[in-house]
Amino acid sequence: MSISSAAGSEAGSEDFEDRATFTARVRAWFEANAPRRGSAEDFSAVHVVSGQTVEEFNEREEHAVEVTRNWQRKLYEAGLASPSWPTECGGQGAPEWADEVVLAEQSRWGVSTKMFAVGLEMAPAVLFGHGSAEQRAHYLPPIVRGEQTWCQLLSEPGAGSDLANVQTRATPVEGGWSVSGQKVWTSHAGGAEYALLIARTGTREEGRKGLSCFALRMTQPGIDIRPLRQMSGGYHFNEVFIDGAFIPEIGLIGGLGDGWLVLRTMLASERAAIGGGTGARSSTQLIGLVRRLGLQDDEGVREIVAAAVIRERTLDFTRFRIAAGHRVAAAGSVTKLLYSEHARLSSEAAMTVLGLAGTVADDPESAPWIERLLFAPGLRLGGGTDEIQRNTIAERGLGLPR
């Protein structure tokens, strides 16, 4: 069940304005409040941050979070933040299509909420799919108002893609749970107020049956966040050491031992979010690079650009089919795989177009593409490797044997 359909099933939308009226209102509001793409105020790619030191990276990431927070607050105050959510969760009780209208319009402007993707896309999928009404009313309003950011605490040093082998443990204590363990490859952990945590509540021998899902407050004693330097020079990922952190009873999402079921919802949402990203329009930016370099008449370059455009349109049309309700087998894995491949191939294409200039890290034309090239392997790992996506498509989507 999608986030919007889960929310819409709880909210009456009979009195909401018709689609044409709402669409016109949304377009007029964006026209008056959103920066245009390519303008000085454009922050559609603000979630792609880098830096040569931890301090520089943290400063840029803090700025990105603040810009996104301000924009999310403006959306909320205008009644355009997740409008299909029930009113008690911070929404407007609107029909499902209202979310689609807002997202489609937002993709046309120089704005992005991808810094808050875990809170706005993955946490709601988990809470609408597995949480209680009390949990949704407790956790969702601060997210939709832009007051809280979330991250995910999934992978561990001894359990990367093998999440059934997670060993971080949650032990019952008075009033809730005490958690200890280590997580790794956590995006944006330093700026997150909460995390979706998968921890072991049963024995190791129980495997996936011994896992549970929790909402963990990150801003408390017992949590040590250590940035991991990437080959791009950035610190997008982090190690998180947990030593006796407390989770109240309301923080257990789903039943005890239902963590694997919740995790499947979370990962499907993450893959769909990655594959549904509109912030990085690689082919559009590649065309701009080619024109600035005066290579638009070069037949080899035109062939490279055409391939990028075809990949991007294929991804777009697949996403449109999913949004329109057409069945796409293993949709999240399909779009995630298409997106990670597109990002890799487009950054490689840019290096071909740049030639020797692509080796100069501080050149204004080459620097963004070098960073994308170096970050591309991370896109192919995060949310499950490309190999895992292909297995998921084959087994769950097409019904092929393991």
Same domain? 230 vs 328: no
pLDDT at 231 over 90: no
Within-domain flag for 5: no
Same domain? 193 vs 254: yes
User: What domain count does the chain have?
Assistant: 3
The H or E element spanning position 176 is: strand 176-187
pLDDT at 20 over 80: yes
Within-domain flag for 267: no
Cα–Cα nearest to 199, from 187, 188, 215? 215
Confidence category of residue 47, pLDDT binned at 50, 70, 90: low
Same domain? 251 vs 301: no
Within-domain flag for 357: yes
Same domain? 96 vs 186: no
CB 61 within 8 A of CB 47: no
Same domain? 27 vs 65: yes
Within-domain flag for 358: yes
Q: Which two tokens stand for residue 198?
A: 């998968």
- Residue with the bigger pLDDT between 179 and 190: it is 179
User: Which pLDDT does position 352 carry in this prediction?
Assistant: 92
Average pLDDT estimate for 149-170: 89
Would you give the distance in Å from CA 116 to the centre of its chain?
A: 7
CB 136 within 8 A of CB 3: no
Same domain? 27 vs 88: yes
- What's 360's domain CATH number? 1.20.140.10
Within-domain flag for 327: yes
pLDDT at 113 over 60: yes
Average pLDDT estimate for 343-358: 90
- What's 250's domain CATH number? 2.40.110.10
pLDDT digits (tens, 9 = 90+) for 210-230: 999 999 999 999 999 999 887
pLDDT at 119 over 90: yes
The H or E element spanning position 311 is: helix 299-323
Within-domain flag for 121: no
308 is in which domain, residue-wise?
280-397
Same domain? 204 vs 293: no
Instruction: Look at the alpha carbons of 226, 64, 142, 237 in this order and tell me if their dihedral is positive or negative.
Output: negative
Same domain? 98 vs 49: yes
CB 168 within 8 A of CB 156: yes
pLDDT at 208 over 50: yes
Query: What beta strand segments (E) does 90-149 contain?
Result: none
DSSP reduced 3-state for 183? strand
User: Pick from 203, 228, 260: which residue ends a domain?
Assistant: 260
The H or E element spanning position 17 is: none
Same domain? 284 vs 370: yes
Please list the active-site residues. Answer: 270
Same domain? 331 vs 393: yes
Q: How far is CA 16 from CA 20, 95, 164, 296, in A?
A: 12, 8, 44, 48
CA-to-CA distance for 368 and 376, rounded, in angstroms?
A: 12
**Mean pLDDT value across the chain:** 87
User: Pick from 147, 172, 207: which residue ends a domain?
Assistant: 147
Same domain? 346 vs 390: yes
User: Which pLDDT does position 5 carry in this prediction?
Assistant: 45
Q: Which of 87-91, 327-331, 342-346, 356-360 has the highest mean pLDDT?
A: 87-91
Within-domain flag for 119: no
Q: What percent of the chain has pLDDT over 70?
A: 91
Same domain? 105 vs 156: no
User: Pick from 126, 147, 168: which residue ends a domain?
Assistant: 147
Within-domain flag for 122: no
C-alpha angle with apex 274: 269 to 278, nearest 5 degrees?
120
